[in-house]
Structure 1
Amino acid sequence: MATPIKVTACDNELIIIASTPAGSSEICHISSGNNDPVSYAVNLGSVLPPGKYSLTLVGINWGGPSAFNVTVGSTPLTFSNPNAPVGVVWTQTVAVTV
């Protein structure tokens, strides 16, 4: 099954990891800032074998505003905070089937 991931905002650092009880795989690690445009897309079926995964998104802020825009399949996952603290500011885990 095709499960597309699209990232359209990353201020400042986004890590996406697919995990199972047998281990994990990093899907992407994006660093950006200053509201610069981001355009990243991947089909999970092209980088993972078929199966059920927990897809964990981790958003890290380096200072100032922070924003993340990710679509998994047809589900938008977003975070925005103009006064975000430094460090991990957003985590989200969703179940996906590849």
Structure 2
Amino acid sequence: MSITRPGQSARYSFTGTASQLLRLNWAGTTISGSSWVSVSVLKPDGSSLASSSYATGATGGMDLPSLPASGTYTVVLDPPSASLTTASLSLVTR
């Protein structure tokens, strides 16, 4: 996932099933002009399921709460407004 314009966020959608347990992992993040980036996961209705922030170069992840409904979820990578970012994100079943 890459953000090539400062002030832009990146979105990735995935289909989830009610009660599914997932983990969002990140690695290989480079951030120009800042030392951190925020990541959030939105439910199908657009409300927040989970959020976190992490530092450039960090490898890690977050366990998502049990998905409340089946549908399309969205991962949003949102760096500070003056930053360009590249990141490797993956979703895995836990």
| TM-score, normalised by the number of residues in structure 2 | 0.49
Quick one: higher RCO (CA 8 Å, sep 6+), 1 or 2? 2
